[in-house]
Chains A and B, each alone.
Chain A
Amino acid sequence: MLHIYCPHCDEYREEEEFRPKGEAHIARPADPENTSDEDWGNYLFFRKNPRGLHHEQWFHSAGCRKFFNVTRDTVSYEILETYKPGQQPTVTAESRQAQASAQASNQGAAK
């Protein structure tokens, strides 16, 4: 049972108020008719299934009925941030990796 912060309601709510809506940031090609089959296929069918950080779309169906995005670790289930549609995540797999290596080099320097 996740505890999810709705960025529209500005409150934590129980998971049962929400519906998961799959991977976030899947934009419909602006000109579907002139989109390559590959790009259209990627839009329509292909989804990431990462071990680790994932950006997901959720819907606050029993609350404000608004969509928003969640950055969640699929291993620990930790939610690192939630943000509104149209916004970009501040925590990504790359940023986390960069942070981890920066920390490692800091520790190395401390020694």
Chain B
Amino acid sequence: MSQRNRLATGGRIDRTRPLRFTFNGVSFQGYAGDTLASALIANGVDVLNRSFKYARPRGVVTAGADEPNAIVQLGATEAGQVPNVRATQQALYDGLVAKSTNGWPNVDRDLMGVIGSLGGKFMPPGFYYKTFMSPASAWPKYEQYIRKAAGLGRSPRETDPDIYDHMHHHCDVMVVGAGPSGLAAALAAARSGARVILCDEQEEMGGSLLDSRELIDGKPAAEWAAAVVAELSALPDVLLLPRTTANGYHDHNFVTLHERRTEHLADLAPLANGRRQSRARMHKVRAGRVVLATGTHERPLVYARNDVPGNLVAGAVSTYIRRYGVVPGQRLVLSTSNDHAYRAALDWHDAGREVVAIVDARDKPDGDLVAAARSRNIRIITGSAVIEAQGKKRVTAAVVAAIDIAGFRVKGSTQELACDTIASSGGYSPVVHLAAHTGRRPVWRDDLLGFVSGGVPGQIPAGGVNGRWSLRDAIADGFECGVRAAAETGLTAGTFTLPTVAPVREGKPVALYQVPHTKAAMRAPKQFVDQQNDVTAAGIELATREGFEAIEHVKRYTGLGFGTDQGKLGNINGMAIAARVTQQSIPDVGTTVFRPNYTPITFGAIAGRHCNEFFDPRRYTALHGWHVERGAAFEVVGQWMRPWYFPRGNESMHDAVQRESRAVREGVGILDASTLGKIEIQGKDAREFLNRLYTNAWTKLEPGKCRYGLMCKDDGMVMDDGVTACLAENHFHMTTTTGGAAGVLDWMEMWHQTEWPELEVYFNSTTDHWAAMTVTGPNARKLLTELVDIDMSAEAFGYMDWREAKVAGVPARIFRISFTGELSYEINVQANYAMHVWKALFEKGAKYDLTPYGTETMHVLRAEKGFIIIGQETDGSVTPEDLGMQWCVGYKKPYSWIGRRALTRPDTKRSDRKQLVGLKPLDPQVVLQEGAQIVLDKEIKVPMPMVGHVTSSYFSPNLGHGFALALVKGGSQRIGQTVYLPMADGKIHAAEVVSPVFYDSEGARHHV
């Protein structure tokens, strides 16, 4: 197909670089510099989509981010699929493949179209809510069908092979938008020495300058833009980001930008210099000042059947002609409420096509552009508007009538003007989205007939968004705002001469939003307010009549401004309709809050590099390489990768854990315990600090000794535990749980810094400094004796002692503490030497069958001993007494330590609190489910009183049966009773309440 709407000359496209592309399976040609939309228009493609709800054929309406209809699914490959791409923003590249987003089975013969046209009047707003509400269980089915029919775009079914990233920036002045005011602001700020970032969502910087009819310093406006961009790009502290949308404005001038880095080049990101590059980048900018130069969106008029392809906003017509060298039709009717839109007719006429008429709602238009139209002998019909478009898949005529705006009625008879294009303009809405993202409401200005920024600290609106609409004013305002922004960040402005722009006299616009029809809105053909969401004027009327009067309610009821649209075209028109029907002013109706993101942003860009292996940091111990080589199965604990178990051959997890557990009880095992939190404490008040922090007493702990301690919060609930060793009189080595390490250190810092700054003590994390290996089992001493240079005898090195020694030549602190119940030594060496020591242990350990074990075996062994794990046996509602650990609470300590007061209250002393017990299933093969609820009565009646739950449960090879720890109400009084655990599958397990210590209750095994 030829580019029948392409002009022979003009525009900013490169006719020497033709590009092939495919739309809905048909191959077309466009040029470098085209957008997908301009190329489709050049090729005479009218219908790009079917509408969301009514499945009506739709074509291009605008030339930018405000496009409601030309939204496509992009991607030549499955992996490269991108939904919700606006054809008006997508640069054309060779080989581009796009499809309509909506339309099933296809846009031209749309099954839903039949339903939509039949059912149109039966699908009022709230249709989906009303029709598909019941039965609720069927909603997923309805939704599936509606989604398929409506087509909201789809994500790729294959993994995206592209990479994405983030980049942080700081600058004095961030300028959003590189149109006349944005360029001027950036230039003024940069010349003042500011660090400037200038972003613009389009392929080329310049905004409206790129299709302006006006001259700057006597030259085409686009040339001035190019000169400014050239000057800016030469400055070291200026960052220019084209193809970059400022999508979110957050607190304290934090702006998120979405840069599309390769989407103008190919489906998937091509290599650059032979290396992978990111397809999109999210920039996170912290700016001193943000100059908002986002310009305006032109408002279309709301008239009947204004969604038939061939209805465009007036400014888009000029953009297509002047920037892309395409005319979107042959015969134009322009319907306008203002002078500025006359540009469309002038450009159309100058391109050699017929302007059938300009229909101006005002009685006596008289600005410079009006005069220019008159001088071209273009017919101007005043006091009138297009009230209806005719045609199905393309406009065939415009129905024009004189209108009484104040009375909202058509005056006299109508006339039909044959045409294929209707351009309309109801005025200009400042693009205030970024001024509203932090919650500040925009403010209505009657003189502009639009909302402007409500004023955000640190944000300076410039040019169009500030209501300075003429080119001359926009540039002047841009310079002023750029200087102001630089000055407010502490810089001194340079001096500038403003470029000369001839003034253009524009007449006063008239407030016109919805155009009256000969029939009432409810009975007239559909007048679309929001084409993307298929919201009509009648729908808004109905919503207000049903009581949804606040615009936020109307929005939710009708879908106005929903989703990717964010109200760019339709919001003000919708509010104007609600205001008219409810007889309020527009600001009284309220305004909707705009939310990030301004335009859709790919999830890849949000994730950036934080995906796959970098989704969450993985922390490793110094022995990780060995574990990997040994084929360990890993478990993520916090962010740590810990060996879970070490399977031999094809061994199952169960078998491996049973074997490892037996090895520790019968021979000797070894655990990489390096992940335990370690905190070094120095200072003369270290002991006092421990006394206040822990529930038990530390005053008498001598150097060379270790002690187990419990920490509570001030509500008396256990928060962490661990062994702390006295290294010297003023020097302690604390251990915490693996997951609690950072929190405990922060906790200690908080108490020290904010409550007890007088205590002379310092803490520091030494978790990573030390590698810790637990050698445990009856043969532990024998093995270590072969490697250490100290006396390991029970007399010289007792239980809960620590000793300094060399292990395999490496200086170590060895703590004789036990979490398994066996004879245990925890060897701590500086982490860089850990691998040497670990390997030496295995060398000497071969004859003892030294068995590496993982966290699962560690859990089984400690549970056999009734040792708690914080977060498993505790959940923030468990006291030391609940755990049967009153031996670890020192009520006699002089200082009222953290948690003490709470632990003396009646509620924490209740005898019917949930207390830690053991459970022995009556069937020895049963392993109870962790989390299972416990009841006292076998005869189950719902609801039944639940008295507790299982906290830990395993099968013990050493006991030969399943066993569990549980928290049970009044549990310590229930020893010997039978309780029941009803399961989801209907089975009921019976278990005997027993002591939580299942193994070696006298502690004989570790006291050897």
A binds B: yes
**Partner-B contacts on A (CB < 8 A):** 1-3, 14, 19, 21, 27-28, 31-33, 35, 40, 43-44, 57, 59, 61, 65-67, 76-79, 85-86
Contacts of A33 in B (CB 8 A): 896, 900-901, 904
Q: How far is the CA of A32 from the CA of B901 in the complex (A)?
A: 6
User: What distance in Å separates the Cβ of A83 from its nearest Cβ neighbour in chain B?
Assistant: 13
User: Contacts A1-B254, A31-B896 given: A85-B457 contact, CB under 8 Å?
Assistant: no
B252 near A1 with CB under 8 A, answer yes
**Contact A67-B754, Cβ < 8 Å, known A3-B286, A14-B286, A32-B896:** yes
Interface residues of B in 670-704 (CB under 8 A from A): none
The distance from the CB of A12 to the nearest CB of chain B, in whole angstroms, is: 8
Say yes or no: is B231 at the interface (Cβ < 8 Å to chain A).
no
Contact of B286 with A67 in the complex, beta carbons under 8 Å: no
From B414-422, B745-753, B799-807, the one touching the partner chain is B745-753
- Which residues in chain B, 403-438, are within 8 Å of chain A measured between CB atoms? 438
A interface footprint on B246-269 (CB within 8 Å = 1, 0 otherwise): 000011111000000000000000
A86 and B758 CA atoms in complex are apart in Å by: 12
**A3 touching B714 in the complex, CB below 8 Å, given contacts A14-B286, A76-B457:** no
The range of chain B's interface size is 20 to 34
Partner of A85, one of B252, B754, B900: B754
A86 CA to B752 CA, complexed, in Å? 12
Q: Indicate whether B715 reaches chain A with its CB closer than 8 angstroms.
A: yes
Min distance, Cβ A1 to any Cβ of chain B, angstroms:
4
Contacts A32-B896, A33-B896 known; A2 to B746 CB distance under 8 Å?
A: no
Query: Among residues 230 to 255 in chain B, which have CB atoms less than 8 Å away from a CB atom of chain A?
Result: 250-254
Residues of chain A with a CB closer than 8 A to B284's CB: 1
1/0 contact string of B741-767 vs chain A (CB within 8 Å): 000001001100111010000000000
* Shortest distance between the CB of B716 and any CB in chain A (Å): 10
Minimal Cβ-Cβ distance residue in A for B255 = A1
Question: Considering the chains assembled together, what is the distance between the CA atoms of A20 and B973 in angstroms?
Answer: 43
Binary CB contact string for chain B from 886 to 924 against chain A (1 if under 8 A, 0 otherwise): 000000000010001110100000000000000000000
Q: Which residues of the partner chain A approach B286 to less than 8 Å between Cβ atoms?
A: 1, 3, 14
Inter-chain contact A77/B251, CB cutoff 8 Å: yes
Q: How far is the CB of A2 from chain B (nearest CB, A)?
A: 6
Distance (Å) between the CB of A47 and the closest chain B CB? Answer: 14
A32 near B900: Cβ-Cβ < 8 Å: yes
Contacts of B753 in A (CB 8 A): 66-67, 85
Give the shortest distance, in Å, between A55 (CB) and chain B (any CB).
13
A-B contact pairs, 26 of them (CB 8 A): A1-B250, A1-B284, A2-B251, A2-B252, A3-B252, A3-B253, A14-B168, A14-B286, A28-B755, A32-B896, A32-B901, A33-B900, A33-B901, A33-B904, A40-B901, A43-B714, A44-B714, A44-B902, A59-B750, A65-B749, A66-B749, A67-B750, A67-B754, A77-B251, A77-B252, A77-B438
- Which residue in A32, A61, A79 is a CB contact (below 8 Å) of B746? A61
Inter-chain CA distance A35–B438, complex, in Å, is 43
- Of residues 128 to 168 in B, which have CB atoms within 8 Å of A's CB atoms? 168
Q: What A residues does B754 contact at CB under 8 A?
A: 57, 67, 85
Q: Are A78 and B457 in contact (CB under 8 A)?
A: yes
A75 and chain B: residue at smallest CB distance: B439
Q: Which residue of B lies closest to A61 (CB)?
A: B746
Contact B746 A19 (CB under 8 A): yes
A76–B438 alpha-carbon span in the complex (Å) = 8
Please report the C-alpha to C-alpha distance between residue A57 and residue B755 in the assembled complex, in whole angstroms: 13
Residues of A within 8 A of B250 (CB): 1
Residues of chain B with a CB closer than 8 A to A59's CB:
746, 749-750
